[in-house]
Amino acid sequence: MVFGGTGGTGKEIINQALAKGFAVTAVVRDPALWSIQHPSLTICKGDVLRPSTFENEMIGKVAVISCLGTGKNLKPTTIYSAGIENIISAMNKANVKRIICLSAGALYTNSEMGFLIKMLAKLVVQNMLKNLYADMRVMEKKLQATTLNYSIIRPPMLSNKPFSGHYRTAVNTHIKRPFSISRADLAHYMISILNDADTYNSILEIAH
């Protein structure tokens, strides 16, 4: 089950998952705006802030991928924290254990980023996206407090470059100078770790 499937990364995840033979359920608020059609794709008209609209569809699923976002809206939000809380609740009811959650690489800074990327994150990105990041931090904490097999992935700047299959990853550690990653490569990695127990209960990084 994919949340946030209408975003750039979400669409990549759905297309790649279908190509790999997965049965996918995409939770979307307005199915009329949905263009992807596939025999293995189910569209659930639902709202992550209204769990009753998707709880029944959660039954029988083996994993959830969350790519929640606000589009271009930078105002204060609870879409990440309230959304993940509702997803967690529905997963617990349906006994679904695996979730991969998209977060952001600039939520926190570290020395491995290098001086320039670290300053860009602290002085520009964190200020510009402060409202979104504040709620993302709450989202991460809510996931970390569960008994689910979660993976939180923090990518750097996203691009629409084509799939390359060449990228660096880190589990519970940091990548040196993580500047960007294509949505196609990010989606590829997220799908590849669906059954990777080494990434359970972990913070993941990825970059070219």
Say if residues 72 and 125 touch (Cβ distance below 8 Å): no
- The string of pLDDT tens digits covering residues 173-197 is 999 999 999 999 999 999 999 999 9
**Strands 180-182 and 98-102, sheet pairing:** unpaired
How far apart CA 38 and CA 59 sit, in angstroms, is 21
Mean local confidence (pLDDT), 56-72 = 96
Where in the chain are the domains? 2-207
Q: Is the pLDDT of residue 71 over 90?
A: no
Q: What is the pLDDT of residue 35?
A: 85
Say if residues 65 and 3 touch (Cβ distance below 8 Å): yes
How far apart CA 83 and CA 92 sit, in angstroms, is 14
Question: CA separation (Å) from 13 to 53, 66, 126, 132, 192?
Answer: 22, 10, 26, 22, 11
Per DSSP, what are the bridge partners of residue 94? none
- Categorize the per-residue pLDDT at 36 as very low, low, confident or very high, splitting at 50, 70 and 90: confident
Q: Is the pLDDT of residue 33 over 90?
A: no
User: Which CATH superfamily groups domain 2-207?
Assistant: NAD(P)-binding Rossmann-like Domain (3.40.50.720)
Say if residues 142 and 88 touch (Cβ distance below 8 Å): yes
Q: What is the pLDDT of residue 205?
A: 98
Q: Is the pLDDT of residue 32 over 90?
A: no
- The string of pLDDT tens digits covering residues 19-31 is 999 999 999 988 8
Q: What is the pLDDT of residue 22?
A: 97
Residue whose tokens read 């959304």: 83
pTM over 0.85: yes
